[in-house]
Structure 1
Amino acid sequence: MQKICCCVIACILITSTVYSQTLLLKGKVLDAASGKPVAGASVFLSNTSYGSVSNSAGVFEITGIRQGNYDLIVSYVGYETYSNSISLNASKEGLAINIKQKVAELKEVIVRNYQKDGWQKWGSFFIENFIGTSALAQQCVLKNKDVLKFSYSKKDDELNVDATEPILIENKALGYTIQYQLENFVYDFERKSLFFAGYPLFIEMQGGASKKKKWEKARADAYEVSSMRFMRSLYRNRLTEDGYQLLLLERIPNLEKQRLQAKEKFYYDTVRHKNFVVSFESTLQPDSLDHYKKVMAQKDPIEIIHPGLLKGEDIAYGADSITAALDFKQYLIVRFPQRTIPQEYAAIIPQGSTKQPVSSIISLINQVPVYVTSNGYYYNVTDMEMEGFWGWWEKISSLLPYDYMPSKNN
Structure 2
Amino acid sequence: MIKYLLGTVLLLLFCLNTHAQKLYSINGQVKDKKGETLPGAGIYLSGYTTATVTNQDGQFSLGKIKPGSYEVVVQMIGYLPYSKSVIISDQSVNISITLAENTIQLNEVVISADPNRAKNLKVFEDYFIGKTPNSAKCKILNPQVLYIKYDGDAKVLSVTTNEFLIVENKALGYRLKYMLNLFEYNYNTRIVYFSGLPVFEDLKGSGRKRKTWLANREIAYAGSPQHFFQSLYQNKVEENGFIIYKRIKTKNPNRPPDSYIYTTKERLLKKMHGSSMIGSVISDSLLLMQRLQDMPKEFTSLDMSGVATDTLVKSIYPNMKTINYKDELYVMYTKEEESIAYSNSGHYVMRPLTIPNYEISVVSMIKGPVSFYPNGAIHDSRAILFEGFWAYEKIGDMVPMDYIPMSKR
Q: TM-score range by the shorter chain?
A: 0.7 to 0.9
Q: Determine the structure 1 residue equivalent to 2:43.
A: 43
Partners of 2:52 and 2:29 in 1: CA distance? 11
Match of 1:267 among 250, 265, 268: 265
Correspondence list, 1:190-205, <5 A: 190-205=188-203
**2-structure distance, mates of 1:137, 1:327:** 32
User: What secondary structure does 1:317 align onto?
Assistant: strand
Contact map agreement 1:248 1:332 (CA 8 A) in 2: yes
Farther-moved stretch of structure 1 (196-205 vs 77-86): 77-86
- The separation in 2 between residues aligned to 1:272 and 1:54, in whole angstroms, is 73
Structure 1 CA distance for aligned equivalents of residues 362 and 231 of structure 2:
17
Aligned position for 1:7: none
1:156 equivalent to 2:157? Answer no
Describe the superposition over 1:249-297 as per-residue Cα deviations: whole angstroms up to 9, x where unpaired: 222333643547953785378649989x9x9999338xx86x975x666
Question: Structure 1 pair 232/47, CA: closer, same or farther in 2 (3 Å)?
Answer: same
Residue in 2 aligned with 1:399?
Answer: 398
Give the SS at the match of 1:378. coil
Check conservation: 2:80, 2:163, Cα contact below 8 A.
Answer: no
Q: Which amino acid aligns with 1:148?
A: L
Matches within 5 A, 1:60-139: 60-76=60-76, 79-88=79-88, 92=92, 94-101=94-101, 116-139=114-137
**Distance in 1 between the 2:163 and 2:258 partners?**
50
Larger radius of gyration: 2
**What amino acid is aligned across from residue 321 of structure 1 in structure 2?**
P
Amino acid in the other structure paired with 1:397: G
Q: Residue 363 of structure 1 corresponds to which residue in structure 2? A: 364
Q: Using the alignment, how far apart are the partners of 1:143 and 1:17 within structure 2?
A: 44
Cα drift, residue 149 of structure 1 = 1.5
Residue 95 of structure 1 and its aligned partner are, at CA, apart by 3.1
Trace 1:7-406 onto structure 2 (pairs within 5 A).
23-31=24-32, 33-76=33-76, 79-88=79-88, 92=92, 94-101=94-101, 116-254=114-252, 256-259=254-257, 263=261, 266-267=264-265, 271=269, 283-284=283-284, 298-349=295-346, 356-366=357-367, 368-393=368-393, 395-406=394-405
Q: How does the TM-score come out when normalised to structure 2?
A: 0.81
Q: CA RMSD, aligned part only?
A: 3.7
Q: Any idea what SS the aligned residue of 2:404 has?
A: coil
Structure 1 or 2: larger helix share? Answer: 2
Q: Is the 8 A contact 2:81 2:162 kept in 1?
A: no
Q: 1:69 to 1:356 in 2, by over 3 A?
A: same
The alignment covers a number of residue pairs equal to 382
Find the aligned partners of 1:229 and 1:280 in 2 and give their Cα distance.
Answer: 60
For residues 377 and 90 of structure 1, what CA distance do their matches in structure 2 show? 20
Deviation of 1:27 after TM superposition, in Å, equals 1.9
Structure 1 distance, partners of 2:293, 2:133, is 36
Question: Unpaired segments of 5 or more residues in structure 1?
Answer: 1-15
Which is further off, 70-79 or 332-341?
70-79
Measure, in 2, the Cα distance between the counterparts of 1:17 and 1:87. 21
Identity of aligned residues (%): 23
Q: Classify 1:316/1:121 alpha carbon distance in 2 versus 1 (closer, same or farther; 3 Å).
A: same
From the superposition, tell whether residues 17 and 127 of structure 1 become closer, same or farther in structure 2 (CA, over 3 Å).
farther
Given that residues 251 and 330 in structure 1 are in contact (C-alpha distance below 8 angstroms), is that contact kept between their aligned partners in structure 2? yes
CA contact (8 A) 2:272 2:282 kept: no
Whether the 8 Å CA contact 1:66–1:403 is kept in 2: the answer is no
Residue 9 of structure 1: aligned partner: none
Structure 1 residues 115 and 163: alpha-carbon distance in aligned structure 2, compared to 1, 3 A threshold: farther
Residues 174, 215 of structure 1: 8 Å contact kept: yes
CA–CA distance in 2 between the matches of 1:115 and 1:396? 29
Residues 254, 302 of structure 1: 8 Å contact kept: yes
C-alpha displacement at 1:99, in angstroms? 3.1
Against the structure 1 CA distance between its residues 152 and 266, is the aligned structure 2 distance closer, same or farther, given a 3 Å change threshold? Answer: farther
Asked whether the 8 Å contact 2:349–2:360 carries over to 1, the reply is no
Q: How far 1:156 sits from its partner (Å)? A: 2.1
Distance of aligned partners of 1:139 and 1:280 in 2 relative to their CA distance in 1, 3 Å threshold: farther
Partner deviation per Cα, 1:130-187 (whole Å, 9 max, x = no partner): 0000011011111111111210112222111012421111111111111111111111
* CA positional deviation for 1:403: 0.7
Paired with 2:271 and 2:142, the residues of 1 have a C-alpha distance of: 51
Matched letter for residue 315 of structure 1: L
Q: Distance in 2 between matches of 1:56 and 1:272?
A: 78
Q: Which amino acid aligns with 1:320?
A: Y
Higher relative contact order (CA 8 A, sep 6+): 1
Partner of 1:3: none
State the secondary structure of the residue aligned to 2:363: strand
Give the direction of change, closer, same or farther, for the CA distance of 1:379–1:94 in structure 2 (3 Å limit): closer
Q: Distance in 2 between matches of 1:35 and 1:280?
A: 81
Which segments of 5 or more consecutive residues in structure 2 lack a partner in the other structure? 1-16
- Normalised to the residue count of structure 1, the TM-score between the two structures is 0.80
